[in-house]
Amino acid sequence: MEKDYGKYFAPSLKEARKRIKKEIEKIKFSFPEHLRQFGKDKKYLIKTFGCQANEADSEKMAGILHRLGFTEADNESEADLILLNTCAIRETAENRTFGELGRLKGFKMHNPDLLLGVCGCMPQEERVFNLIKEKYPHIDLVFGTHNIHKLGEYLYDAYLNKEKVAEVFSEEGKVVEGIPTKRAHDRKAWVNIMYGCDEFCTYCIVPYTRGRERSRSPEDIISEVRELAELGYQEVTLLGQNVNAYGKDLNIDYTFADLLLELREIAIPRIRFTTSHPHDLDDETIYALAKGGNLMPHLHLPVQSGSNKILKKMNRKYTREEYLEKIRMLRKHVPGISITTDIIVAFPGETDEDFKETLSLVREADFEGAFTFIFSPREGTPAAKYPDDLDPGVKKERLLALNKLVNEGYLRGNKRFEGKTVKVLVDGPSQKNPHLLSGYTEHNKLVNFPGDKNLIGKIVDVKVEKAYTWHLRGIISKSHS
Ligand code: 5AD
Ligand code: SF4
């Protein structure tokens, strides 16, 4: 028999678009006593799609589940609870998730007590929320990006009251501190510094799915990084959709550069951050990076297009010339910095000329890597309504031509380390060849090298013997052997 909804709250695109200036409320996560251990003897599986923000959210959900007494399942068949933490950034990501939802229905037939949940960015979309409700009645639990801290409550309703839960808030101004976290790695950690995005690039769904910009307080961030340092973590990556806007919503005179300078004093070997917006990347941040130390010499700075006409239509708020000037400043003050980017091809109205400007910008900027995408219309965003009559074959050709150029940049970026000794934080056995170890350099280059497993989690010196497009091959320096 079809279960009824207990909690029910649907998202609204109109609400998600709103930006009301008001004080950000900070709340402390509290764990209701009656929930303790109710997940005992139950196993969960979280499948995470999309970006680092989702990975960090999944670690928090796992933290809550462990507090409830759940343990992690090794596979889908032994799970009592499967959560899909979803991504809405492009249509391909959504289609994959819908495929998964259909496939998981089969597991429910074998195990009627299995709970299936969908969370993350997709249910934040009004259209997707309604689709799940109508076409996927086997989904027991639907919640969004603003209410993962209520996971315990939702499970309590679903298990004990045998109700379905669908609760997605469009507008949420809170920052929740103190959610327990079960981190996926024991040497590298994500640290959220802010949530949401107010940029409204015309192609992007994120401002609608993750709400308005909310910064965590510097004290909360600093104490989390200090704690990670004390636990022996070697690297933190600061997360935000637009980290350079950090602090703008706080009523204190404190910027992203201030935060970097304070974190630089903490005894943690490596600090990275993602993602930067060129429009908000200021000189102070560049000067902070120039001080080096634990601030790593790599910057991911999405450019999206090399054509001023397209940048304007994307609402990126900078010109090609301004972007190149930032790159020049970065290279001047942080010699040897590795710069990577994101690029969208075939944005509506992109002509051959516009595309050529993207190619020429890639050459001029000398990127050492890029994530490249074909524009994907996202319902509710302005660009989804722009006329788009480009032939799909031409879109693919542009992507291929761009990738060819980008790959030359990867190789050039790797070649400059041939013969040099680099510091590598060892992640574990190489995915391609388990007889080798692999890890990343300070410039974020992947290195494979033979070595003993007891080096995993350590930072070691590796002499680079040969550079390939996607990785470096090296040998461990004498001091570690
Ligand atoms: N279509 C294609 N790519 C997109 N991105 C964001 N939205 C879209 C879209 N609608 C890309 C941008 C962004 C990266 C995370 O995803 O390049 O920087
Ligand atoms: Fe999307 Fe632009 Fe915000 Fe990045 S800065 S999340 S591309 S709206």
- The token duo for 131 is 């689709």
Q: Whose CA is nearest to atom 6 of ligand 1?
A: 204
Query: Terminus-to-terminus CA distance in the chain, angstroms?
Result: 64
Give the ligand 1 atom nearest the CA of 89: 7
Say if residue 120 is in the same domain as residue 199: no
Q: Are residues 274 and 324 in the same domain?
A: yes
Say if residue 200 is in the same domain as residue 59: no
Do 67 and 32 contact (CB within 8 A), yes or no? no
Residues 16 and 18: their CA atoms lie apart, in Å, by 6
**Dist CA 408 CA 396 (whole Å):** 19
The letter for the amino acid at 409 is G
- The answer to whether residue 3 scores a pLDDT higher than 80 is no
- pLDDT, mean of residues 121-127: 95
Mean pLDDT of the chain: 94
Q: Ligand 1, residue 343: give the atom nearest the CA.
A: 17
Same domain, 355 and 437: no
- Considering its fold, how many domains does the chain have in total? 3
Q: What percent of the chain has a predicted confidence (pLDDT) above 90?
A: 86
In short, whether 90's Cβ falls inside 6 Å of ligand 1 is: yes
Is residue 225 located within the same domain as residue 116? no
- Per the CB < 8 A criterion, the answer to whether 182 and 22 are in contact is no
- Say which CATH number the domain at 34 has: 3.40.50.12160
Q: What does the alpha-carbon distance between residue 440 and residue 444 come to, in Å, rounded to a whole number?
A: 5
Nearest ligand by distance to the CA of 206: 2
- Confidence check: pLDDT of 1 > 60: no
- Per-residue buried b or exposed e for 310-345, using 16+ beta carbons within 10 Å of the residue's own CB: bbebbebebebeebbebbeebeeebeebbbbbebbb
CATH of the domain at 266: 3.80.30.20
User: What six digits make up the tokens of 255?
Assistant: 């910027």
Compute how many other C-beta atoms are within 10 angstroms of the C-beta atom of residue 405: 16
- 378, 203 Cβ separation under 8 angstroms: yes
* CATH (domain of 469): 2.40.50.140
Quote the pLDDT of residue 480.
Answer: 59
> Does 453 lie in the same domain as 351?
no
What crossing angle do the helices spanning 218-230 and 256-263 adopt, rounded to 10°? 30
Among residues 415, 435, 451, which one ends one of the domains?
Answer: 415
Q: Are residues 336 and 241 both part of a single domain?
A: yes
pLDDT tens digits, 422-463: 999 999 999 989 999 999 999 999 999 999 999 999 999 999
Same domain, 389 and 338: yes
Q: In terms of domains, do 148 and 112 share one?
A: yes
Strand pairing category for 164-167 and 338-345: unpaired
Residue 481, pLDDT score:
55
Which amino acids bring their CB within 6 angstroms of ligand 2?
Answer: 197, 199-201, 204, 206-207, 241-242, 277
Q: How far apart are CA 61 and CA 149, in angstroms?
A: 8
Span 69-99, pLDDT tens digits: 999 999 999 999 999 999 999 999 999 999 9
Q: How many angstroms separate the CA atoms of 142 and 224, rounded?
A: 29
d(CA 210, CA 240) in angstroms, rounded, equals 11
Residue identifier of the C-alpha nearest atom 5 of ligand 2: 199
- Per-residue model confidence as pLDDT tens digits over 382-412: 999 999 999 999 999 999 999 999 999 999 9
At residue 273, the 3 state secondary structure works out as strand
- Of 167, 193, 221, the last residue of a domain is 167
Boundary (domain end) residue, out of 399, 415, 431: 415
Does one domain contain both 107 and 253? no
Place of tokens 């074959």: 393
Percent of the chain with pLDDT over 70: 99
**426 and 388 share a domain?**
no
- Counting Cα atoms < 13 Å in the Cβ hemisphere of 29 gives 20
Based on the fold, state whether residues 123 and 189 are members of the same structural domain.
Answer: no
16: confidence class by pLDDT, cuts 50, 70, 90: confident
Lowest mean pLDDT among 153-157, 423-427, 469-473, 477-481: 477-481
Ligand 1 atom nearest to 275, measured from its CA = 18
Verdict on whether the full-model pTM lies above 0.75 = yes
Structural domain including 449 reads: 421-480
For residue 33, the model assigns a pLDDT of 80
Q: What confidence score (pLDDT) does residue 479 get?
A: 64
